[in-house]
Amino acid sequence: MPTSQTIEVKQPIPPVPSSTPPLLRLEGVRCGYREAGEWREILRGVDLEVQAGEQLALVGLSGSGKSTLLHLLGGLDVPSAGRISFDGFDLAGLGEPARTLWRRQHVGFIYQFFNLIPTLSVLENVLLPLELNGIDEKAGREAGMGLLDQVELAERAGAYPDKLSGGEQQRVAMVRALIHQPALVLADEPTGNLDFATGEKVLDLLDSLVRAQGRTLIMVTHSPEVARRADRLIRLVDGRLEAV
């Protein structure tokens, strides 16, 4: 996908109005690490509210902390200060075992490099989140085949990742991220490893599936085309979020 253009949104869409509490709330979130004996802060007090069903695009220069923020939202890391609430409870306050269980049930990840397991077939890759959650195998297979059919890959259910094109692998990764019906879907450069036409097709499918299921989607991207699809665009600048 092209990355050289400047992202410009003249009339940014405000947060989705709602009388209910946000699905995600970040308050004064800070995060960093120690390097050569000195503390390097990446996020410097991030505040954000995201409503259920909203789609956000997160942009910023390389090294601005986008992936760090995505990892915090997915419970892969905890902030050094501040609070992250998911559906009203303090996510950062959970221990690692509890966060792992929470991720399995509530979060779906889509990565730039697909991260499919090469020794598992398409359907086996898709069903992995259900197996981790103890879902009945028969029900899981029916759901998996149904989603694969929606992305035109039902006939490739028995194939292995090395026999698939990049676009096909990303569609499998997308189905795997959605199979357990997570409330939150996090996508890190979901089309960054695809050509423009293939990326557009993948985004069309992702948008239709996420909206049909009423999921919340947060995408990290450098692509203006990807960013314009979101309900709201936010940018990380010097460790803080700005509306675009």
- With beta carbons less than 8 A apart as the criterion, state whether 51 and 236 touch: no
Distance of alpha carbon 59 from the chain centroid = 13
State which H helix or E strand residue 12 sits in: none
Residue 27: predicted pLDDT:
93
Residue 55: predicted pLDDT:
92
Residue 61: predicted pLDDT:
87
79 by Cβ neighbours in 10 Å (0-12 / 13-18 / 19+) ranks as buried
For the chain, which residues score pLDDT lower than 70?
Answer: 1-19
Classify residue 163 by its DSSP letter.
G
Q: Where are the domains of the chain?
A: 54-78+93-243
The top-level CATH class assigned to 54-78+93-243 is alpha beta
Q: How many CA atoms lie within 13 A of 182 on its CB side?
A: 28
Q: In whole angstroms, give the CA distance from residue 52 to residue 44.
A: 25
Q: Look up the pTM and report it.
A: 0.83
